[in-house]
Structure 1
Amino acid sequence: MKTSQIAFLSVFAAFIVVGRIMFQFLPNIQPVTVMLICLAIFAGTRSAVLLAIISTYVSNIYLGLGIWAIWQILGWVLVCLVSGLLSKLLREANIYVFALFCGIMAYIYGLVIQIGTFSYTGNFIAYYLASLPFDTMHAIGNIGFAIVLGPILKRILPRYLQTIQ
């Protein structure tokens, strides 16, 4: 990996961390998922997975680090993997399809979190049902961030990534 690529990923990780911390006062609404999806689409799955791990760990140092961080990382890694697999389709998708995809990914992320909760509490159904309002807020936030950030990142990321490769 070149120095310019490392610098780009570092700056993008900083944006993700700041975005997550900035919106901490809203329950489950943050731009992390949308930014990681865009990164997986345009920079590749490997870069997105790396930033999912780094940004989750760094932001959780501020927000609170615990066993749940492992499941947050796994949830965002799964989102990155799915986005990377569908990257060709998502690059050409219109903003509404992209926003819908981001909304669906919130529920996938929430499912992973609840599997993690089940691993140390033992009651999956109760925690999953209790988490649905938070997952819905995450989905609504993702749709909003996808509509706002999607076109910006769709224009900026490919241009910038061409200059550093």
Structure 2
Amino acid sequence: MLTVHKMTLLALLTAAAVAGRLAIHGMNIQPATLIIILTGWFFGWKMGAAEGMLTALASDLFLGLGYWTLFHLAAWGMIGLLSALIPHRRWLYYLWLFISGFLFGIIMAFSYFVFTENPLTVVGLWISGLPFDLYHAAGNLIFGLVSPLLFKVFANEANKLRKHTAQ
């Protein structure tokens, strides 16, 4: 029962993250990162990492698979994993929402090594992408302002999973 509950929850959260990314695709402002962070924060590093990787893979199936997909998997998977390590303090949560937008960009910058071996070129390309990382970070904060409404839903589900585990 616990496994089915976890898998269903993960599938629903992934569907919500993918739908959010597809609905607002374009300026690098979308709720997918927020959902990934909340998943890691409330359900632990395994579900957070799985949520991040599944969101990346499923959304790239719609938006286009390519060399960048592995970096999407790594970036959002890492964000989901690290979210589980963030203490449950509201200010740390908001700080992590902002930082994760830039972390995503740094990890994605490693994809430029596919085209060049020159680290200076990669750094230059990463710097040129900083405005998009800022959009990502700001978007995370904007979505984060409404996320306290989701805390109760996520906390209730996390409690249900803990009760099933304890039995």
TM-score, normalised via structure 1 length = 0.89
Separation in structure 2 between the aligned mates of residue 54 and residue 104 of structure 1, nearest angstrom: 21
How far has the Cα of 1:118 moved from its partner? 2.6
Separation in structure 2 between the aligned mates of residue 46 and residue 120 of structure 1, nearest angstrom: 32
Separation in structure 2 between the aligned mates of residue 162 and residue 18 of structure 1, nearest angstrom: 26
User: Which residue of 94, 113, 120 corresponds with 1:118?
Assistant: 113
Superposed counterparts of 1:4-83, under 5 Å: 4-25=5-26, 27-83=27-83
How far has the Cα of 1:155 moved from its partner? 1.3
Does residue 148 in structure 1 map to residue 143 in structure 2? no
1:162–1:97 Cα change, 3 Å: closer
Q: Is the 8 A contact 1:48 1:80 kept in 2?
A: yes
Aligned to 2:130: 132
Task: Tell me how many residue pairs correspond in the alignment.
Answer: 158
What letter corresponds to residue 142 of structure 1 in structure 2? N
SS in 2 for 1:2: helix
Gaps of 5+ in 1: none
SS in 1 for 2:84: helix
What letter corresponds to residue 22 of structure 1 in structure 2? A
How far has the Cα of 1:121 moved from its partner? 3.3
Please list the CA deviations of residues 97-154 of structure 1 after superposition, one character each: whole Å capped at 9, or x if unmatched.
42222111111110000012234334212211111000000011011011112x0222
Decide which structure has the larger Cα Rg and report it.
2
Separation in structure 1 between the aligned mates of residue 74 and residue 3 of structure 2, nearest angstrom: 26
How far has the Cα of 1:83 moved from its partner? 1.3
Please list the CA deviations of residues 55-80 of structure 1 after superposition, one character each: whole Å capped at 9, or x if unmatched.
11111111111110110111112212
How far has the Cα of 1:48 moved from its partner? 1.3
Gaps of 5+ in 2: none
Separation in structure 2 between the aligned mates of residue 125 and residue 56 of structure 1, nearest angstrom: 24
Structure number with the bigger relative contact order (C-alpha 8 A, sep ≥ 6) is: 1
Cα-Cα RMSD? 1.5
